[in-house]
């Protein structure tokens, strides 16, 4: 693991420490029975993964992503390159206080010490079905596939890619905000129905979101756009050449590669 990971979890200043309990599973000799008693969220496969050397963990997780996600030529090339930049993939269990539940995360640590990513355990089929029933419109297949890898993902201290429960709650909150607010949502000069947006990522501290937009189908499935909480606008996707600059992406995997490349989404 790079030093950013170590510094994040093992804060030496006890008065400001984020975590009271930390367990790097690859460094633990505890059995499955002992470890799983800390958290029911720990997948058995993640525990077994941590018994392997770091290079095998990286290869195994890369292949799992490639096998589970729908084939997307540019994303699959990017994903191979992304995993080549890692020095480790490991699992960390953390506890903010002695009474709080243990949080389970898979850590993607970059060799150059520039950053790391944190992924939560995959969603269950029950959670996935509840999301589908709540949203009603068909969600993109690549997004649903990714939720089977991580039901929540972030960079450093920010877990911006929401879990399934947050998606439903934030969508309702945004609807209330626009329905009762004084300002309308627009794309350029065109008014936009806020109910057509399904948020899946929240920009840290900005009240802005990346959202699926069910009025834009650049291919066979919904594209996604950036919703600015500052000026109440969404990406203007009408000029294809401006898609990336406008933070408009034809697929979830296009957005995900943009995020994993370390681009600033704020």
Crossing angle between the packed helical segments 73-84 and 54-68, to the nearest 10 degrees: 170
**CATH class of segment(s) 122-266:** alpha beta
Mean pLDDT along residues 140-163: 94
Q: What percent of the chain has pLDDT over 70?
A: 95
Tokens encoding 195? 């109910």
Q: What pLDDT score does 16 carry? A: 60
Q: Tell me the three state secondary structure of residue 143.
A: helix
- Per-residue pLDDT of 67-109, as tens digits, reads 999 999 999 999 999 999 999 999 999 988 888 899 999 999 9
Going from N- to C-terminal start, the domains of the chain cover 3-119, 122-266
- Per-residue pLDDT of 6-54, as tens digits, reads 888 876 555 566 777 899 999 999 999 999 999 999 999 999 999 999 9
- Per-residue pLDDT of 57-75, as tens digits, reads 999 999 999 999 999 999 9
**Greater confidence, 154 or 177?**
154
Distance linking the first and last C-alpha atoms of the chain: 26
- Cβ burial of 258 (10 Å; 0-12, 13-18, 19+) is middle
> Residue 146: which of 162, 169, 130, 126 has the closest Cα?
162
Q: What percent of the chain has pLDDT over 90?
A: 76
- Per-residue pLDDT of 97-140, as tens digits, reads 888 899 999 999 999 999 999 999 999 999 999 999 999 899 99
Residues 6+ apart with CB under 8 A from 117: 107, 108, 153, 154, 155, 260
Task: For the chain, give the mean pLDDT.
Answer: 91
Q: Is the pLDDT of residue 266 over 50?
A: no
What is the spatial distance between Cα 143 and Cα 200, in angstroms, rounded to a whole number? 9
């Amino acid at each position: 693991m790079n030093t950013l990971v170590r510094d994040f979890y093992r804060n030496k200043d006890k008065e400001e420490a984020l975590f009271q309990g930390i367990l790097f599973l690859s460094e633990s000799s505890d059995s499955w029975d002992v470890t799983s008693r800390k958290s029911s969220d720990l997948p058995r496969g993640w525990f077994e993964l941590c018994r392997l050397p770091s290079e095998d963990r990286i290869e195994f997780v890369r292949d799992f992503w490639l096998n589970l996600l729908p084939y997307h030529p540019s994303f699959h090339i990017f994903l191979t390159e992304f995993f080549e930049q890692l020095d480790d993939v490991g699992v960390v269990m953390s506890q903010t206080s002695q009474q709080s539940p243990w949080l389970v995360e898979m850590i993607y640590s970059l060799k150059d010490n520039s950053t790391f990513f944190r992924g939560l355990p995959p969603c269950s089929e029950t959670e996935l079905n509840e999301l589908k029933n709540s949203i009603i419109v068909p969600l993109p297949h690549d997004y649903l596939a990714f939720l089977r890898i991580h039901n929540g993902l972030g960079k450093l201290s920010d877990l911006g890619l929401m879990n399934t429960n947050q998606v439903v709650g934030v969508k309702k909150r945004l609807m209330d905000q626009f329905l009762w607010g004084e300002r309308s949502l627009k794309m350029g000069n065109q008014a936009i129905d806020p109910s057509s947006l399904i948020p899946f990522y929240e920009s840290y501290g900005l009240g802005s979101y990346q959202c699926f937009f069910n009025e834009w189908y650049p291919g066979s499935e919904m594209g996604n756009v950036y919703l600015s909480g500052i000026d109440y606008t969404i990406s203007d996707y009408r000029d294809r050449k401006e898609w990336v600059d406008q933070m408009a992406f034809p697929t979830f995997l296009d957005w995900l590669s943009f995020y994993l490349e370390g681009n600033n989404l704020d």
